[in-house]
Structure 1
Amino acid sequence: MASIKDVAALAGVHRSTVSRIINGEGTFRSDTKRKVEQAMTDLNYRPSAIARSLATASSNMTGLLVTYYTGGFFGQMMEQVQAELDQHNKFLITAQGHHSAEGEREAIRRFHALRCEGYVLNSRHLSDDELRALAQEPTPFVLLDRVVEGLEPRCITFDHPLAAKLAVEHLIQQGHRNIGCISGPLSRTSSHLRLQGYKEALQQADIRFEPALCVEGDYGRKSGYLAAKQLYRSAPAMTALFSCSEEMTLGALQYFHEQSVILPQQLSLISFDSIELCDALYPQVSSVHFPISQMAQTAVELLMCQINQKECVITQHFLPELRLRGSVSKQAVPIA
């Protein structure tokens, strides 16, 4: 494997000259720079990211904190962050929070140890006070899908209550009044906000909230299956269902298919959707779209502005989009 010494020898310059050209330091004659670049090409030399970080006091790396790596939602988030960082010639380092505040702290400590220039944090467990304290440190960060009082310029947010409200209002407009809900884990702020929107839509339509029609899931497919099973048995008058994630929707659909429940003739279904999975299901499922890809892209743009200390005029608050497909019909007969 070629070294910086080999490049210098082939180009006929000192090693420090090669190093400074690689790191963009100083001004050199065009023919000197051209000889170094040609030598690097001929030797297939690739600068070491670690060596560059030591030379420039910058790792050229960005940290991304996620809850876990599995699932389309987080895959879409990571893919978009990587794509946007590629445009800035930055490296991506990812870490899982492992569903705990300590896991998230450890991830941030790892980013710091690797000298990341900045972080995109999809933090679910760190307290607002802890994030405000982190903001006093020199390394910039952006919060993705979270708002913290006092850190609003760092936050990329989504209107979760409005999204849920739009979904349930659509069901009500089709004549449904016995509307079930599979919520996310109520330990998460986003789940509370979605449940809040569900309840607001019912209240504004003078429909009483029935706890028996609401089952808590964990955003995973299995929990959607089990929640559908519980609702099928305990809420026979239910004619419509609102699912708070596409993974839970998949699980619910599996259970209803096993029970030969025909959608939308016997049950109308509407879902949250962040990765456009609902468009690929059968029947295609109506949804409110959660634009995590655009939000992740914007988070990187905002972070780059912070790192480069530039003004950044971008949309930081995103609104839902109602996408109507084939899973909702006028009020049907109860499922059981």
Structure 2
Amino acid sequence: MARIKDVAALAGVNRSTVSRIINGEGKFREETKKKVEQAMAELNYRPSAIARSLATSSSNMMGLLVTYYTGGFFGSMMEQVQSELDTHSKFLITAQGHHSDAGEQQAIQRFHDLRCDGYILHSRHISDDTLCEFAKQHPPFVLLDRVVPSLEERCITFSHHKASSIAVQHLLDQKHRLIGCITGPTCRENSLQRKQGYLDTMAQAGIVVDESWCEEGNYGYQSGYEATKCLLTRHPELTAIFSCSEEMTVGAMQYLHEHGIQVPQDISIVSFDSVERCAELYPAVTSVCFPINDMAQSAVQVLMDLIAGKAVSKVHEFEPKLVVRGADRALS
């Protein structure tokens, strides 16, 4: 296996010159750089990542904290983060938070132990105060889909309340009044915001919503199936359903199909969507887009600026957008 001294000997330069060219340090004549590059290619020399890390005080690794690895949402997020990091020649290390404060802190400690240069955190359980303390001690990090006061410049945000309001208003504009809601788990702040957006928009239309018009799911397929069953068993008069996640919408559509309830002739449905699942259904479902891919890309860009010591804006908020498709109809 070729070593740096072999490259130096073949190129006719000293080892420090080879090292500095590899690490992008200093200025050299093009002729010198070309000799080193040719020697590296001829010897099939690959710089040691560990050695470069020690020399440059940079591991070229970034940490990404997610809730779990399964599901289209997190898979899409990880793919987008890795794709964006590839443009910066950075490696991605991922860890799960295991739905707990302790699990998320252990993941961050793992990033720290591996000397990651920065982190992207999709944190749901670590307190604001703890994150503020981390900001004083740890390498730079960016928070994805969360706002922490005093850390606004690190936050990539999205208004879940506004997105729900847009989706429900679409149904109201089609003269629906009996609109059920499949919510996410109420232990999550963003789920509560989605539900509250539904409730507030219905109230603004002068509609008193009975709590039995809402059924809690867990963002998964089966919970959407069961929630639809519960809603329509209690209230067969519902003319529309607002689903707070695309996976739950898939489950809802399956229940409706199995029970001969036609969409949109018998009932309309609109949904949140982050990975374009709603476009793949039949009929395709009108949805409000949660742009997690764009948000993940922005998170990497902000993180790279923080690592470089650049000033960053305190506002990184993404706007919801309604995509109208065919699974809803206006009432006469």
**How high is the TM-score relative to the length of structure 2?**
0.96
> Partners of 1:47 and 1:232 in 2: how far apart?
63
- CA distances 1:27-79 after superposition (whole Å, capped 9, x unpaired): 33433322111111122222222221112111011111111111111111111
CA contact (8 A) 1:59 1:115 kept: yes
- Percent identity at matched positions? 62
Structure 2 counterpart of 1:331? 331
> Partners of 1:148 and 1:174 in 2: how far apart?
37
1:8 is displaced (CA, Å) by 2.8
Q: Secondary structure at the match of 1:327?
A: coil
- CA distances 1:88-120 after superposition (whole Å, capped 9, x unpaired): 221111111111111111111011111111111
CA contact (8 A) 1:298 1:314 kept: no
Unaligned residue ranges in structure 1 (runs of 5+): none
> Partners of 1:137 and 1:162 in 2: how far apart?
34
CA contact (8 A) 1:185 1:218 kept: yes
Structure 2 counterpart of 1:154? 154
Q: Secondary structure at the match of 2:237?
A: coil
Q: Counterparts in 2 of 1:1-336, with a 5 A limit? A: 1-313=1-313, 316-331=316-331
Q: Which moved more, 1:309-318 or 1:135-144?
A: 309-318
Q: Secondary structure at the match of 2:251?
A: helix
> Partners of 1:231 and 1:261 in 2: how far apart?
13
> Partners of 1:138 and 1:270 in 2: how far apart?
42
1:234 is displaced (CA, Å) by 1.7
CA contact (8 A) 2:157 2:318 kept: yes
CA contact (8 A) 2:246 2:278 kept: yes
Q: Which moved more, 1:10-19 or 1:234-243?
A: 10-19
> Partners of 1:24 and 1:280 in 2: how far apart?
47
> Partners of 1:4 and 1:265 in 2: how far apart?
71
> Partners of 1:243 and 1:42 in 2: how far apart?
59
1:315 is displaced (CA, Å) by 5.7
> Partners of 1:51 and 1:102 in 2: how far apart?
33
CA contact (8 A) 2:219 2:248 kept: yes
Cα distance change on mapping 1:209 and 1:330 into 2, 3 Å: same
> Partners of 2:179 and 2:171 in 1: how far apart?
8
> Partners of 2:255 and 2:30 in 1: how far apart?
68
Unaligned residue ranges in structure 2 (runs of 5+): none
1:232 is displaced (CA, Å) by 2.3
1:9 is displaced (CA, Å) by 3.4
CA contact (8 A) 1:243 1:270 kept: yes
1:20 is displaced (CA, Å) by 2.2
1:313 is displaced (CA, Å) by 4.9
> Partners of 1:68 and 1:265 in 2: how far apart?
37
Q: Secondary structure at the match of 2:182?
A: strand
> Partners of 1:73 and 1:36 in 2: how far apart?
44
Letter matched to residue 330 of structure 2:
K
1:2 is displaced (CA, Å) by 3.3
CA contact (8 A) 2:168 2:198 kept: yes
1:287 is displaced (CA, Å) by 0.5
Cα distance change on mapping 1:321 and 1:176 into 2, 3 Å: same
Give RMSD over aligned pairs: 1.6
Letter matched to residue 318 of structure 2:
F
Letter matched to residue 303 of structure 1:
L
**How high is the TM-score relative to the length of structure 1?**
0.94
Letter matched to residue 190 of structure 1:
N
> Partners of 2:246 and 2:46 in 1: how far apart?
42
Letter matched to residue 95 of structure 1:
A
- CA distances 1:229-249 after superposition (whole Å, capped 9, x unpaired): 211222211110000010111
CA contact (8 A) 1:69 1:75 kept: yes
Letter matched to residue 164 of structure 2:
A
CA contact (8 A) 1:270 1:286 kept: yes
Letter matched to residue 57 of structure 1:
S
> Partners of 2:74 and 2:230 in 1: how far apart?
28
